[in-house]
Chain A
């Protein structure tokens, strides 16, 4: 494989309210900032890939509108995935393997504030036997949390501890929104929204954008391995307490030996333990020091941000950082990207 390095990363602040930037303006600001972080210009980029979702943005071809922000006329080499920007980065990494392009740009953007991300997630379920039932993502995650409790693999106190740590770390991260500090003990006194999950076990949904510049020059953390795998869609067709796709993707990305920092795309506090166990890691590693996707959950962006924050961890001295991105219901589809010093 051709070595690929993270040359630059930028994210807009993840805001609880509409940031009042249209798609081109979000994309222009975040890609310009990532290129500045990389010390590169627009003309250095040989391939660009975006991740976004028209259902989230409430607008057909929102990704095409957004291209204005790149200066995409006359046409440039670009592509799009209707997925989190982490998968746009994967496509950019594959494109760099072709050998004829040396710098690639991946970005994602999304707004939770325009509509209902919950309603979009419901529509993304199997259209024959799941979507017509109208189950939202929180009760769906609650079924998984119940399976964990029944299997003796977690307690509600474990879920609450994830919330306490995520909020504490998120409030130190200037790009994450400020959230009310919550001790695990207090969290456990609050009512269930859909048992055994409480409101704070779910994500803080935000608006924002993120971009990463990849280069074949050793100017930043090296992508030591990247892979993605998928499980069966139907929640009743798999053991919800484990993630085979995470374990398979992590092995394909080179394994987790020596990993000291992980940035996990966990949307419900109950899922963190599943991801860590699938990775063969425990809380002795630094888990989501950015605060993670629980406290800054911008749709189509949160996964890409995990890779950016893992790269930042390597820039800050980590020896081997692992980023995880997820898509689909209950950790169905998972991407693992492992970063090491160049």
Chain B
């Protein structure tokens, strides 16, 4: 006889954001997509507190998007999920998010736009997903 038991591990963490991510999530809640510019002039979106290439602090916020281009995508057979890496206009990096449009339309290079949630709270899901640009 094998003895088994269901078990759930739960931690009710709260995460503090620090100045760079606080600015990003505050802007997102207010409906703006803001990356950050590094000392070498690249625009990181989503923002990081540091330049991953150099470790240097990042500089001022830069508004990006809401349009952008798909750099990679994947789709599960319907009704499964579709995911995209999107380089937003004005950014030098891509963000990962859901694609909420018709997966059959997906291709690399596709123009898409961020669809914001109506109720925004300062969380990454304030971007509800990406859909094909009109």
Residues of A within 8 A of B (CB): 18, 20, 55, 58, 127-130, 132-133, 135, 139-140, 142-147, 150, 191-197, 232-237, 240
Which of A58, A144, A194, A235 sits near B76, CB closer than 8 Å? Answer: A194
Given contacts A144-B72, A236-B93, contact A135 B83 (CB under 8 A): yes
B9 interface residue (CB < 8 Å to A): yes
CB–CB A193/B76 < 8 A: yes
Least distance between B93 CB and chain A CB atoms (Å)? 5
Report the bound CA distance from A116 to B9 in whole Å.
Answer: 12
- Give every chain B residue within 8 A of A236 (Cβ-Cβ): 71, 85-87, 93-96
Closest 9 CB pairs of A and B: A236-B94, A142-B74, A232-B52, A129-B46, A143-B72, A146-B72, A147-B72, A194-B74, A237-B93
Report the bound CA distance from A85 to B97 in whole Å.
Answer: 32
Please, what's the 1-or-0 string for B1-37, where 1 marks a CB less than 8 Å from any CB in chain A? 0100001010000010100010001000000000000
Report the bound CA distance from A45 to B7 in whole Å.
Answer: 36
- Give every chain B residue within 8 A of A20 (Cβ-Cβ): 2
Which of B76, B95, B97 sits near A192, CB closer than 8 Å? Answer: B76
- Give every chain B residue within 8 A of A192 (Cβ-Cβ): 75-77
- Give every chain A residue within 8 A of B40 (Cβ-Cβ): none
CB–CB A128/B73 < 8 A: no
Please, what's the 1-or-0 string for B58-90, where 1 marks a CB less than 8 Å from any CB in chain A? 000000000000011111110011010111000
Ordered by A's residue number, 15 sampled pairs between the chains whose C-beta atoms are within 8 Å are A55-B9, A58-B9, A127-B15, A140-B83, A140-B96, A142-B83, A150-B72, A191-B77, A194-B76, A195-B74, A197-B74, A232-B53, A234-B96, A237-B52, A237-B94
Which of B17, B44, B48, B74 sits near A143, CB closer than 8 Å? Answer: B74
- Give every chain B residue within 8 A of A127 (Cβ-Cβ): 15
CB–CB A146/B96 < 8 A: no
CB–CB A150/B108 < 8 A: yes
- Give every chain A residue within 8 A of B75 (Cβ-Cβ): 192, 194-195
Which of A132, A145, A191, A234 sits near B48, CB closer than 8 Å? Answer: A234
B129 to chain A: closest residue by CB: A133
Least distance between A129 CB and chain B CB atoms (Å)? 4
Report the bound CA distance from A132 to B126 in whole Å.
Answer: 11
CB–CB B83/A143 < 8 A: yes
- Give every chain A residue within 8 A of B44 (Cβ-Cβ): 237
CB–CB A139/B85 < 8 A: no
Report the bound CA distance from A248 to B85 in whole Å.
Answer: 26
- Give every chain B residue within 8 A of A142 (Cβ-Cβ): 74, 83
Least distance between A155 CB and chain B CB atoms (Å)? 15
- Give every chain A residue within 8 A of B93 (Cβ-Cβ): 234, 236-237
Report the bound CA distance from A192 to B73 in whole Å.
Answer: 13
Report the bound CA distance from A150 to B73 in whole Å.
Answer: 10
- Give every chain B residue within 8 A of A232 (Cβ-Cβ): 52-53
Which of B71, B72, B74, B96 sits near A133, CB closer than 8 Å? Answer: B96
Least distance between B131 CB and chain A CB atoms (Å)? 16
B111 interface residue (CB < 8 Å to A): no
B109 to chain A: closest residue by CB: A150
